[in-house]
Chains A and B, each alone.
Chain A
Amino acid sequence: ETGVTQSPTHLIKTRGQQVTLRCSSQSGHNTVSWYQQALGQGPQFIFQYYREEENGRGNFPPRFSGLQFPNYSSELNVNALELDDSALYLCASSLARGLAAIDTSTDTQYFGPGTRLTVL
């Protein structure tokens, strides 16, 4: 069983640029969630994708967007980077049977190691 992987490990961008972060889900998982973790803070939910459709979004502006592909890998895109976007970006994959059901046996989220983004 392959765990969640993310790329790149870290990167540096300048204000106003655009960035794409990638996540490969754990084998068999159909749901991916993205989180932003600022220094000294807990992760903050950005959005979630379930079977290639956005399934909920946190309090983040539209310049944060995502994709989920048929193989359930995912991308997080951030446009017009701001200094406050500097953070660790985490993705987490899980297996969900449905949008509303709470499946305690299968909906554990497995986190990737994160991508450290620095905006100068």
Chain B
Amino acid sequence: SQTIHQWPATLVQPVGSPLSLECTVEGTSNPNLYWYRQAAGRGLQLLFYSVGIGQISSEVPQNLSASRPQDRQFILSSKKLLLSDSGFYLCAWRTLGLSYEQYFGPGTRLTVT
């Protein structure tokens, strides 16, 4: 069965520091991968998605970037964090085919101080 991992689970970082969040998927090949952000008490907003290694599409221009160095690895990064980057970050995956739902990881709670 498929499993999705995210780490770290919780992160507290000062403004201006770099960021690296990692997501890995097991049990599937060539998944579509997604990064979402959830602000407090809000719905999810898609930040980036990837349909293959090295292929990244950005939905919202911002202080963040994403990379996909391996088939089942998706990384969210920032060179300098802003206070507004605080939130709950969720990684999701989907396999190609008839199924259109996305499956989510456990998330990372980021607090920028």
Specify whether A and B are partners: no
Chain B residues with CB under 8 Å of chain A are none
